[in-house]
Amino acid sequence: METTRRRIIKSGSITSLAISAPTILKAQNTPEQIKIGVIGCGGRGSGALAQALSADPNVILWAVGDAFQSGINNALRVGAQKSYSSRMQAPKERQFLGLDSYKGVLASGVDLVLLCSPPHFRPQHLRATVEAGKHAFVEKPMAVDMPGIRSILESAKIAKAKNCAIQHGFCWRFHPGTREAYQKVLAGELGEVRSVYGTYMLNPVAPLAKGVRKPENMGDVEFQLRHWHNFEWLNASPLVEQCIHTVDKVSWAMNDLTPIAAIANGGRAHRDDQSNLFDHYNVAYEYPNGVIAHVGQRQMNGTHSEVTDRVYCENGSMYAPGRCSIKDRHGKTIWRSRPKNGEETNMYQVCHNELFAALRAGKIINTGEYMAKSTALGLLGREAAHTGKRITWESYFKNEDDYAPDDIQFGDSFPVAPIPVPGKKRPLTKPQRA
């Protein structure tokens, strides 16, 4: 169990990795058909597949990989649902099953992959993707710990050297009305940003039902992966897995400026299952010039629900996402976003439309650095809440806590890490192989 993302970064170099001959789409010689593979075929994997197929009429599904057969079945059903049957060209020999299924997909002859497995696997899968010279769509969040973030940043450099595209999955950055609203803020139409308050308050996502226990003949890793929304080493916490959209929009409002530090609190008010997650967080990010950006996250049944961005500026305030608006200092609405005729409003679709259009036009998108830093912003808030400490961005970027190795296997013994207790150091558990 010695393989870690940290070890990979220290042992490799961009120069040596870039020497291998990449099999990539060349901008001036893009093949008529673009062969794509899906790695991780849950809800977002199958959704991203449908959007990729809709983005370009000559995209074909070439290979599928998932830890479980049910995931592969999800991807194959997309063709029947959306009448893509002629472009579903992933026969049995290109359907790969298991934790190493990504290797088969990357070796199958694909041009581009959709990386949609649980977040723990994202750094490993992206590194293998760019080393193989493939383009990538990368679902959020991009890592569960800082060694993973540093791996993503290194992979982005490798991708640039190999002319490989990396498109992120922070979907609200592709929503037309939300883009327009944030552009007004960043253009200074409301003056300087004074503070931000973003929320993501909904019900729990796929919580473990009461009484659910691991079957005796199933390993810890397999059980936790089947319920990955409930375990921090796989999903990075509700703040980072779901609320990362709001965290990312806080960064957007601040023009992606690096924060100084974070102070936070959180805990478990409703959850009493065997997960190790908090069900609420409140984070204050300190920025230069005295700006404080707040994020409120909650996953609790029976409580007020909202997903709202409030950006308070010198001369007014902006409210997003979706149907966005701007109010002046007296609270009068002076602008609302409105769909434009013929404009694609599905933000997930816009994301893929822009990726494939760029490839066809000979442009290589590489959002690796940005997407890593937005994920790191969420991790910083999580760590501040879990420890009860004020943590600076500079110090946390050096954090060495690696939540799980890359070579983990279904049969490994992997006790669930203790629930964080602010003010007390939490030991991280490590998997053991029989």
For residue range 254-298, list pLDDT tens digits in order: 999 999 999 999 999 999 999 999 999 999 999 999 999 999 999
Res 4 pLDDT > 50: no
Q: What angle do CA 106, 5, 219 make, to 5 degrees?
A: 80
pLDDT tens digits, residue range 223-235? 999 999 999 999 9
**Residue 433 confidence (pLDDT):** 84
- Mean predicted confidence (pLDDT) in 21-37: 63
Res 6 pLDDT > 60: no
pLDDT tens digits, residue range 390-429? 999 999 999 999 999 999 999 999 999 999 999 999 999 9
Res 335 pLDDT > 60: yes
SS (H, E, C) 403-416: CCCCCCCCCCECCC
Residue 159: enclosing H or E segment and its boundaries? helix 146-162
Res 28 pLDDT > 80: no
Residue type, 102: Y
**Residue 211 confidence (pLDDT):** 84
Distance from C-alpha of 74 to C-alpha of 278, rounded to nearest angstrom: 30
Largest alpha-carbon pair distance within the chain? 66
pLDDT band of residue 79 (cuts 50, 70, 90) is confident
C-alpha closest to that of 194 among 148, 253, 249: 253
C-alpha closest to that of 151 among 130, 136, 134, 165: 130
**Residue 27 confidence (pLDDT):** 44
Decide: residue 161, CB within 10 A, 0-12 exposed, 13-18 middle, 19+ buried: middle
Could you give the C-alpha distances from 237 to 13, 152, 420, in angstroms and in order?
A: 31, 19, 11
Structure tokens given for 98: 């298991």
Rounded to two decimals, what is the model's pTM?
Answer: 0.93
Distance from C-alpha of 134 to C-alpha of 124, rounded to nearest angstrom: 14
pLDDT band of residue 240 (cuts 50, 70, 90) is very high
pLDDT band of residue 31 (cuts 50, 70, 90) is low
- Strand order across the beta sheet in which 193-202 lies: 333-336, 325-328, 316-320, 309-313, 193-202, 292-299, 280-286, 261-267, 391-392
**Residue 221 confidence (pLDDT):** 97
Kindly report the backbone phi and psi dihedral angles of residue 161, in degrees, each rounded to the nearest multiple of 5, phi listed first: -65, -30
Distance from C-alpha of 433 to C-alpha of 409, rounded to nearest angstrom: 8
Distance from C-alpha of 261 to C-alpha of 395, rounded to nearest angstrom: 9
* Structural domains of the chain sorted by starting position, each given as residue range(s) with its CATH number in brackets: 5-172+348-367 (3.40.50.720), 175-344+377-396 (3.30.360.10)
pLDDT band of residue 17 (cuts 50, 70, 90) is very low
**Residue 15 confidence (pLDDT):** 36
Distance from C-alpha of 238 to C-alpha of 280, rounded to nearest angstrom: 8
**Residue 14 confidence (pLDDT):** 36
**Residue 7 confidence (pLDDT):** 39
Res 140 pLDDT > 70: yes
Res 46 pLDDT > 80: yes
Long-range contacts of 178-182 (CB under 8 A, 24+ apart): 178/249, 178/320, 178/321, 178/322, 178/324, 178/337, 178/347, 180/324, 180/337, 181/318, 181/319, 181/320, 181/321, 181/324, 181/325, 181/326, 181/337, 182/249, 182/252, 182/253, 182/318, 182/320
User: Is residue 432 a contact partner of residue 413, using CB atoms and an 8 Å limit?
Assistant: yes
pLDDT tens digits, residue range 105-119? 999 999 999 999 999
- Mean predicted confidence (pLDDT) in 183-187: 98
Structure tokens given for 63: 């290979």
**Residue 210 confidence (pLDDT):** 84
